[in-house]
Structure 1
Amino acid sequence: MQYRTLGTSGAVVSNYALGTMTFGAEANRDTSHAILDNYVAAGGNFIDTADVYSAGVSEEIIGRWLAARPGARDKVVLATKARFPMGPSPNDVGTSRRHLTRALDDSLRRLKVEQIDLYQMHAWDPITPIEETLRFLEDAVTLGKIGYYGFSNFLGWHLTKAVHLARAHGWNTPVTLQPQYSLLVRGIEAEIVPAALDAGMGLLPWSPLAGGWLSGKYKRDEVPTGATRLGENPTRGMEAWQQRNDNPQTWEVLEVVQEVAAAHGASASQVSLAWLAGRTAVTSVILGARTTQQLEDNLAAADLELSDDEVQRLTAASEPRLDAYPYGLMARHQISRRIEGGR
């Protein structure tokens, strides 16, 4: 396991985080606690959850795990998120001061902690002025309820606006962005990654295996069956599965992933995770697991070293095809400048 700082902060986290969306849904309490134990034993120290995961049950499971293991709280960096509905009221959703005040206190109670290390806005709120959200987060830092804050599922202009407003007011700035990012989802490289780099924010990619596609468990034109999420519940995303199945690039990427995996005696998942962990601006890749076996396989990516040639092959095969304006125009007219003489 490697360790990196959370964006421009001084907090240090492992380059593979443990995502806990499965806790309370696809993994019961005992399995979830075993996953947490194994993750920490492997050197991981970054746990990510959200209030909306299993309607708060994921946070409760983590809270019980922390309470039952003396010293565990001091060893891990704890992250959670708020934004999505947690009740029927119109004020039970969003990033308003009204909602976040209650949401933060509820998360602290469920997690059984006095401070959340990284508090993330789960998505942009088009209703609430961003200044209101930023001021709430500044106050939460001042009160010691959170250490740092970040965003998830924000666009490039969302990031830039929030960062510059925070700087203008002299408030703490966001340190991380949690986007969907993988060998099969690289569209964020057009504007979101540059915006995060410009702001000094670290990336925390979610769905790094693209919903299981990069594990190699799906076969071309074969509808998923058996012990897969789509096999167990086809209504979860069959339309998205069909779109990815019909995309020739999906299979081009998977072919290269399998070739690299075979050369290392590794799994397709490990190759895909290792590629992502090495991308520019990535601080920590969020691993999701339903079983300890899945976690063990994914964590082995920490020991996998890809050659420069292998990285290049994977990158070329998965290159996002952004031909539409303005991205195609920018790519065709890219101007490189080199200043001589060390200036």
Structure 2
Amino acid sequence: MEYTALGKSGLRVSRLCLGTMNFGVDTNEKEAFRIMDSALDAGINFMDTANIYGWGENAGRTEEIMGRWFKQGDGRRERTVLATKVYGDMHDPYDGPNREAGLSAYKIKRHLEGSLRRLQTDHIELYQMHHVDRRVNWNELWGAFEIAAAQGKIGYVGSSNFAGWDIAVAQGEAKARGHLGLVSEQHKYNLLCRLPELEVLPASKELGLGVIPWSPLDGGLLAGNHRRGGDSGGRRSGDAKRLEQHREQLDRYAKFCDELGEPEDLVSLAWLLANPAVTAPIIGVRTQEQFERSLRALDVKLDESALKRIDEIFPGPGGEAPRAYAW
């Protein structure tokens, strides 16, 4: 397994991050345990979740599954770099008027305690804001995170779904306080979604954040499902129109991957891994078989010629601008 530093921090994480959002929803607890055990055995030490996973009235279920997995012992917790998130509605009536999605010192403290309880741990390595909340002053937010860090409950702070401007403001405010600031940005980034190359990736690189791409296969559109007759993630979500919009690109991509002798999903992951701005793509698997398949992406190496061909099929937002991985 390859490892890399998480942004400007000294924390080293695996080049693939295991996403757990399907656990307790599409993946039962027994299979989730099997996948997480296999991840550790394969050298994956980085696992990402969120307090709202389980969704709706079942928010928190995924963290509970992970907590019971940690409780088995045998170094499971000690070997895991754990990341979770705060922002969403936990459907907790005791949150009262603070139940709605957003951030505040009150919510960070309360929801952090809830995550620690469900995860059956006393600390979280990477605590992430699931979205930006521009209504809240950064003095309040950094103050809350500093207290949590001083108490030993969190190690580092990350962001998710932030714009480049939000990252710059957050880092500027942190610097003024003498605080390390954000060490990572979790963002939707894949071959069909290259808009982050305009601002988010350059801002993250300049300001010392590692980038953790979510939806690296764009809900299945980049997994080759469209030509195997299976449902893509887009179809399952009713987005057949988007599939048709990109069908010509996807067909060209499938042909190119055939020439490489590698499947589309693994090439899509390998393309992200070839970008030095990327810390670790999140593999949100549902089954053990999907997990084992995703590991093979680490063995797929794309040369300059292959990367150029991919750019021709999926041009970046700057058209002929230099490729993201060349920054």
TM-score computed with the length of structure 2 as normaliser = 0.90
Identify the residue that residue 216 of structure 1 maps to in structure 2: 224
1:177-230 CA distance string (max 9 Å, x none)? 00000011000111111111111100000000000011010249x8x65xx556
1:289 counterpart SS class: coil
Counterpart-to-counterpart distance in 1, 2:218 and 2:234: 13
Q: 1:162 to 1:316 in 2, by over 3 A?
A: same
Q: 1:230 to 1:159 in 2, by over 3 A?
A: closer
Identity of aligned residues (%): 39
Identify the residue that residue 243 of structure 1 maps to in structure 2: 242
Deviation at 1:316, TM superposition (A): 2.8
Counterpart-to-counterpart distance in 1, 2:191 and 2:150: 39
Deviation at 1:258, TM superposition (A): 2.4
Contact 2:270-2:298 at 8 Å conserved across structures: yes
Deviation at 1:321, TM superposition (A): 4.2
Contact 1:216-1:268 at 8 Å conserved across structures: yes
Identify the residue that residue 270 of structure 1 maps to in structure 2: 266
Identify the residue that residue 324 of structure 2 maps to in structure 1: none
Look up the equivalent residue of 2:283 and give its one-letter code: L
Task: Find the partner of 1:261 among 232, 235, 257.
Answer: 257
Look up the equivalent residue of 2:32 and give its one-letter code: S
**Whose Rg is larger?**
1
Aligned: 1:107 with 2:104: no
Identify the residue that residue 185 of structure 1 maps to in structure 2: 193
Counterpart-to-counterpart distance in 1, 2:190 and 2:136: 30
Where do 5+ consecutive residues of structure 1 fail to align?
A: 332-343
Aligned: 1:90 with 2:90: no
Identify the residue that residue 70 of structure 1 maps to in structure 2: 74
1:205 counterpart SS class: strand
Aligned: 1:203 with 2:211: yes
Deviation at 1:261, TM superposition (A): 3.0
Identify the residue that residue 41 of structure 2 maps to in structure 1: 41
How many matched pairs?
313
Moved more, 291-300 or 310-319: 310-319
Q: 1:183 to 1:229 in 2, by over 3 A?
A: closer
Moved more, 142-151 or 299-308: 299-308
Counterpart-to-counterpart distance in 2, 1:230 and 1:311: 25
1:218 counterpart SS class: helix
1:131 counterpart SS class: helix
Q: 1:265 to 1:286 in 2, by over 3 A?
A: same
Contact 1:256-1:313 at 8 Å conserved across structures: no
Task: Find the partner of 1:280 among 264, 269, 276.
Answer: 276
Where do 5+ consecutive residues of structure 2 fail to align?
A: 322-327
2:159 counterpart SS class: strand
Identify the residue that residue 338 of structure 1 maps to in structure 2: none
Contact 1:257-1:272 at 8 Å conserved across structures: no
1:297-321 CA distance string (max 9 Å, x none)? 1111011112221112112321134
Counterpart-to-counterpart distance in 2, 1:259 and 1:39: 31
Q: CA RMSD in A?
A: 2.0
Identify the residue that residue 325 of structure 2 maps to in structure 1: none
1:1-343 equivalences under 5 Å are: 1-54=1-54, 55-87=59-91, 89-92=96-99, 93-219=101-227, 225=231, 229=233, 234=236, 236=237, 238=238, 240-247=239-246, 251-252=248-249, 254-321=250-317
Contact 2:13-2:46 at 8 Å conserved across structures: yes
Look up the equivalent residue of 2:90 and give its one-letter code: M
Counterpart-to-counterpart distance in 2, 1:319 and 1:297: 27
1:90 counterpart SS class: helix
Contact 2:220-2:234 at 8 Å conserved across structures: no
Identify the residue that residue 341 of structure 1 maps to in structure 2: none
TM-score computed with the length of structure 1 as normaliser = 0.86
